[in-house]
Amino acid sequence: MKVGLFGGSFNPIHNGHIKTTEYIINKKLVDEVWILPCKIHAFNKQLASPKERVSMIEMALEDMENAKICNIELKSKDTNYTVDTVRKLKKMYNHEFLFIIGYDILKEIHRWYKHKQLFKEVEFIAFKRNGYDFKQVPDMKIAYMIKQENNNVSSTLIRNRVQEGKSLKNLIPLPIQDYITKRGLYR
Q: What integer is the mean pLDDT of 170-178? A: 96
pTM for the model stands at 0.94
Predicted pLDDT at 52? 97
Q: What integer is the mean pLDDT of 169-176? A: 95
Split at pLDDT 50, 70, 90, the class of 39 is confident
Predicted pLDDT at 139? 96
Q: Which of 55-59, 66-70, 75-79, 162-166 has the lowest mean pLDDT?
A: 75-79
Range 69-102 burial, b when 16+ CB lie within 10 A, else e: bbbbbbeeeeebbbbbbbeebeeeeebebbbbbb
Predicted pLDDT at 149? 65
Distance separating the N- and C-terminal Cα atoms of the chain? 41
Domain range for 87 is 2-183
Q: What integer is the mean pLDDT of 150-158? A: 83
How many domains is the chain partitioned into structurally? 1
> C-alpha distances in angstroms, 84 versus 31, 34, 72, 112?
23, 16, 11, 12
Question: Residue 174 pLDDT more than 80?
Answer: yes
Predicted pLDDT at 80? 87
Predicted pLDDT at 128? 87
pLDDT in tens, 68-85: 999 999 998 888 899 999
Q: What is the CATH number of the domain that holds 143?
A: 3.40.50.620
